[in-house]
Amino acid sequence: MMTIFIQALDFNLWDIIIDDPKLPHFISQEGIKTLKPRSSYSDDDRKKVQLNAKAKHVIICALNSNEFNRVLSCATAKEMWDRLEVTYEGTNQVKDTKINMLVRDI
């Protein structure tokens, strides 16, 4: 249901959640990846950061305080979505375990 809601608001938000915005960064000569300072953002960087912020806002508005605490540390909307997805749908291993338990109970 949330998927449809986000897509209806702005399909670009859904793209950010699925594709991960790759927040603006630079790589030092030592190979260390660091976020760019806002003062050096290009127009494209600003658009990505803004869409990520909008997507995070939409997700946060749909959460209760416990769910909010789970995603508070996430930098991107994709990280938030992935964390919530694992929480509510479980990993494949969790799903397999649940199915095995149900089959055994029959």
pLDDT of res. 27: 86
Share in percent of the chain as helix, strand, coil (round to 5): 70, 5, 25
| Distance from the first to the final alpha carbon of the chain | 31
pLDDT in tens, 39-96: 999 999 999 899 999 999 999 998 988 889 999 999 999 999 999 988 877 655 555 5
Handedness of CA 63, 67, 72, 73 (dihedral sign): negative
Higher-pLDDT residue of 85 and 101 is 85
pLDDT of res. 97: 54
Region 97-103: what's the mean pLDDT? 55
pLDDT of res. 98: 53
pLDDT exceeds 60 at position 25:
yes
Count of other CB atoms within 10 angstroms of residue 78? 19
Q: Is the pTM of this model over 0.85?
A: no
pLDDT of res. 66: 87
Long-range contacts of range 64-71, CB-CB < 8 Å, 24 or more positions apart?
none
